[in-house]
Amino acid sequence: MLETPTAHQLEEEIHQELEGEHAPGLLQDPATWVLVPFLMVVAIFVWKKVPALMGKALDDRAAKISDELEQARSLREEAQEVLATFKRRQREAEDEAESIIKQAKTDAKIIAEDARKKMEEQLKRRTAAAEAKIARAEEQAIAEVRGRTAELSAQAAEALLRAQKDDPAQQVLIDKAIGEVRAKLN
């Protein structure tokens, strides 16, 4: 069976083991040699005010970042203002273009209506001129036909009367009558 060691036995064993090993000295402990240079570096940092310099550098960096953020905000606001201005100008240009198109359509209708009216007036004038020319030509033709008819009638009457009467006194009366007829017919 296994024996269980007593507390006293355990204590004696630990004491014997410790007596066999000697505790190293402070100068022989490696932790001491790591601690000493570390404390020297910390002392130099404190003496040269490195924490203050680091704090100042961090503060400067924070101020620079803050300035850059503020500048970025102002640039963003300016860009938004420019964008709003361009959008407003674009709307105004579109409205103006629509207005110009509407005005052009209205002007085109007015011009087309004026052109139609002028063309109708010109057509009426030309029609009236053509009708007047035709009327003058008809009157001239009628006058020519009447003149020719009167002339032929006078010649026929003259020939008939001469054939019926050869008397000189009658001849004078006939010539006078023919002259009167010609004058009345022309």
- Along the 186 residues of the chain, how does pLDDT read in single tens digits? 456 667 667 677 766 665 555 555 677 778 888 888 888 888 887 787 877 888 888 889 999 999 999 999 999 999 999 999 999 999 999 999 999 999 999 999 999 999 999 999 999 999 999 999 999 999 998 888 888 887 887 777 777 766 666 666 667 777 787 777 777 766
185 close to 161: Cβ distance less than 8 angstroms? no
Kindly compute the dihedral angle of the four CA atoms of residues 129, 132, 138, 140, in this order, to the nearest 10 degrees: -100
The predicted structure's pLDDT at residue 166: 61
pLDDT at 111: 95
- For the whole model, what pTM was predicted? 0.38
Angle (nearest 5°) at CA 167 between 163 and 168: 120
Secondary element (H or E) of residue 91:
helix 50-164
Chain centroid to Cα 87, Å, comes to 12
Q: Which residue bears the tokens 């310099």?
A: 53
pLDDT value at position 157?
Answer: 73
CA–CA dist 93, 85 (Å, integer) = 12
DSSP one-letter code for 165: -
Residue spans per domain, the chain? 49-185
Q: Which residue has the tokens 């009426």?
A: 124
